[in-house]
């Protein structure tokens, strides 16, 4: 074997190991979800067994996981839509207008990303309780804005900055208002950024557990909170827990793969191009 061949072989081995470590937990999750309780509890664990879809059927239709998935979907889509409606004009303003306090506004938006959600969860719970807003979709839709709005503003501002300002000026010559410039000129060109920020907003909302746990009970129960509630009691239904986990994780993994190129940029809020 030549030196180059050997270096390729080592590389291939390392890459295979990385892929394996990343993917193995998902493999284990899916296979466990296809096991009956008896098989799932075998020690040491078995790798070859007769798969069954019973866990999915029971979780979805008997335990009400389907309904929590629908709740999560309603909440994630609504909060994303709201974040876009509020955030896109703000991003346009930050990219195109000069005004006092812009830097402070900027810092405030970033700080929002750093604050621990538990700090907001305590007062939000008390406020929601006194306004009879516990266990309602709208409560989660609103509180998820605290992290979705900054991310939408951040990514879309970045995107609009990349659009030549001359286009705005040309449109203004024609007598277009700022609103028309935003909707007719900047928005179509900023669509990739808008789409990515929407995907982010959806993933973050869909994945969130703590607010869901604290602010919902039954009516607006989110899927992650539901999955965790299976962990109570003695004889834990591991197959069902993994089936629910699989159902929760599949949509976000698909979205993450679609946005994989922009994922890092979004997570670092643009600190890395």
Partner 1 sequence: MRGRTSRKTIFAFIGPSVIALALIGIAPLLYAAWTSLHFFNLTRLRQLRFVGLENYQTVLTDGAFWQAMGRTFFLLGTSLPLQLALGLGIALVLHQPGLTLVKTLCRLSLVLPMATTYAVVGLLGQVMFNQNFGVMNQLLGGADINWIGDPTNAFIMIVFWDVWQWTPFVALVLLAGLTMVPGEVEEAARLETKSWWMILRYVQLPFLVPGLVAVLILRTADTLKLFDMVFTLTRGGPGASTEFISLMIQRVGFRAFDQGLASAQAIILLIITIVLARIYIRVFYKEV
The nearest distance, CB 30 to partner 1, in angstroms, is: 11
DSSP string, 119-188: HHHHHHHHHHHHTT-TT-HHHHHHHHHHHHHHHHHHHHHHHHHTS-HHHHHHHHHTT--HHHIIIIIIHH
Which CB sits closer to partner 1, 218 or 268?
268
Query: How buried is residue 184: exposed, middle or buried, by Cβ count under 10 Å (0-12/13-18/19+)?
Result: exposed
The nearest distance, CB 2 to partner 1, in angstroms, is: 14
Candidates 106, 101, 113, 76; CA nearest to 91 is 106
Which CB sits closer to partner 1, 61 or 108?
108
Candidates 69, 12, 114, 16; CA nearest to 221 is 69
Which CB sits closer to partner 1, 98 or 132?
98
Please say whether the beta carbons of 219 and 135 come within 8 A.
yes
The nearest distance, CB 126 to partner 1, in angstroms, is: 7
Please say whether the beta carbons of 87 and 153 come within 8 A.
yes
The nearest distance, CB 220 to partner 1, in angstroms, is: 17
The nearest distance, CB 219 to partner 1, in angstroms, is: 19
């Amino acid at each position: 074997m030549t030196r180059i061949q050997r270096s390729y072989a080592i590389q291939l081995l390392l890459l295979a190991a990385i892929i394996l470590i990343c993917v193995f937990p998902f493999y284990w999750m899916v296979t466990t979800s296809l096991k009956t309780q008896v098989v799932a509890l075998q020690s040491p664990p078995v790798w070859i067994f007769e798969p069954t879809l019973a866990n999915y059927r029971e979780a979805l239709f008997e335990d009400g996981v389907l309904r929590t998935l629908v709740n999560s979907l309603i909440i994630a889509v609504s909060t994303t839509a709201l974040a876009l409606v509020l955030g896109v004009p703000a991003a346009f303003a930050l990219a195109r207008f000069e005004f006092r306090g812009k830097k402070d506004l900027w810092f405030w938006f970033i700080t929002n990303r750093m604050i621990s959600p538990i700090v907001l969860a305590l007062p939000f719970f008390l406020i929601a309780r006194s306004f009879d807003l516990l266990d309602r979709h709208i409560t989660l839709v609103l509180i998820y804005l605290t992290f979705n709005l900054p991310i939408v503003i951040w990514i879309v501002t970045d995107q609009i900055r990349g659009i030549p300002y001359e286009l705005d000026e040309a449109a203004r010559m024609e007598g277009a208002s700022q609103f028309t410039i935003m909707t007719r000129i900047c928005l179509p060109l900023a669509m990739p950024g808008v789409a990515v920020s929407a995907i982010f907003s959806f993933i973050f909302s869909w994945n969130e557990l703590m607010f869901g746990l604290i602010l919902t009970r039954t009516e607006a129960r989110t899927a992650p909170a539901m999955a965790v509630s299976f962990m109570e009691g003695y004889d834990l239904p591991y197959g069902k827990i993994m089936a629910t986990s699989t159902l929760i994780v599949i949509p976000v993994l698909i979205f993450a793969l679609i946005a994989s190129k922009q994922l890092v940029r979004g997570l670092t809020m643009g600190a890395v191009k």
